Amino acid sequence: MAAPREAPERRPFGRRFLTDPARLFQHNAWDNVEWSEEQEASARSRVQENSSQLLPQDKQEEYEVNAKRYWDDFYKIHENGFFKDRHWLFTEFPELAPSRYPRQNGDSVHEFNNKEESNNEGLGSCENGHCSLETGTENQLNLMKSTPKVCIEEVATQQCSEVNQSDGDYPGSSASYRILEVGCGAGNTVFPILQTNNDPGLFVYCCDFSTTAVDLVQNNAEYDSSRCFAFVHDLCNDQSPFPMPDESLDIVILIFVLSAILPEKMQCIVNRLSRLLKPGGMILLRDYGRYDLAQLRFKKGQCLSDNFYVRGDGTRVYFFTQDELDDLFTTAGLEKIQNLVDRRLQVNRGKQMTMYRVWIQCKYRKPAAPQL
């Protein structure tokens, strides 16, 4: 249950100490926090300041060319220890949980719940510009399954992907409900889905730009090649094939992924992903919103373009508005089911620090095929 909104005194961003220790240890977060005009003005001012000095063009090109290496390095350093398993997924996205309703005609997507529910996630963590929202809950089943690696290197991945799709001969071709997570990282979304959703017709695809990340997924004891297919994929390369045909997916998941891509390439990527959806299929997104704590923490000299920054480790991040995301998805021919801003006040009890987080959550659906 969300705590009363009036409990904390709100000040414009940054660190402060709470005067009431009882409140400090009683509550972790306040949902749907309304910002004052002072807070909005303070946020705009910080963004104007930290974006007043852009990186030179040659440096920007270097970050684009070496993007894969920076993400590989990130996962080599952190492996699966930075982000926690996202067990809040099934509150925010009930479409990923086991079906509660029968499907029509055997190929339509699960019924969806459009109710805006808050999750009970923890405070997450912030390190080197990476601010996560994952809970600390870990549900390790220790299945200890030994599965072969499917493909590790990009060349091998393309070979694996070039299957005879016209004959239905592709990974997961016999499944009745197919999910693709783009930007799977170490599997913090994939494995909770596989653990929670026991639908025998479920098949989960997951891909990442980073070979190291995909390697972590494939070497996880819970990776089951009969239910999951992990592969390396460069979203920005429209010649890089997917292992499944167009109009074969029920769900595409984008969690803090689109924000890592060069803004001018986003529309092409959303267009490609929308073609993979069945009629009635959905894209589920959660990503950074404008004026999130992570954006306000950047210093001068880290801005690449409007609301697009480079972290100290070379990875990049964009901060969206609702309208920007709506334009991307509707231009790709999808219809809006949900597009909301989640403004949250979080309290780090150990450091006695308040943090204002801003995330955007979207659900966009591919229109159903017209009835003949």
CATH topology of domain 26-97+171-234+241-366: Rossmann fold (3.40.50)
**Predicted local confidence at residue 369, as pLDDT:** 74
Closest CA to 157 of 46, 68, 272: 68
First to last CA, the chain: 47
Is-contact 289 133, C-beta < 8 A?
no
Closest CA to 112 of 251, 206, 227, 205: 251
Confidence of residue 12 (pLDDT cuts 50, 70, 90): very low
The domain ranges of the chain are 26-97+171-234+241-366
**Predicted local confidence at residue 219, as pLDDT:** 92
Q: Using CA atoms, how far apart are residues 337 and 319, in angstroms rounded to an integer?
A: 21
Check whether 147 has a pLDDT greater than 50: no
pLDDT tens for each residue of 281-336: 999 999 999 999 999 999 999 999 999 999 888 888 999 999 999 999 999 999 99
Check whether 28 has a pLDDT greater than 80: no
Residue by residue, DSSP assigns 202-266 as: EEEEEEES-HHHHHHHHTSTT--TTTEEEEE--TT-TTSPPSS-TT-EEEEEEES-GGGS-GGGH
Residue by residue, DSSP assigns 20-53 as: -HHHHHH-SEESSPPPPHHHHHHHHHHHHHHTSS
CB-based contacts of 366, cutoff 8 Å, min separation 6: 274, 277, 278, 279, 280, 281, 282, 333, 334, 335
**Predicted local confidence at residue 372, as pLDDT:** 58
Residue by residue, DSSP assigns 162-211 as: ---GGGT-STTTT-SEEEEEES-TTTTTHHHHHHH---TTEEEEEEES-H
123, amino acid identity: L
Is-contact 335 365, C-beta < 8 A?
yes
Confidence of residue 107 (pLDDT cuts 50, 70, 90): very low
Is-contact 94 197, C-beta < 8 A?
no
pLDDT tens for each residue of 168-189: 789 999 999 999 999 988 888 9
Is-contact 309 131, C-beta < 8 A?
no
DSSP for residue 5: T
- The rounded Cα 30 to chain-centroid distance in angstroms is 22
pTM exceeds 0.85 for this model = no
pLDDT tens for each residue of 68-79: 676 577 666 655
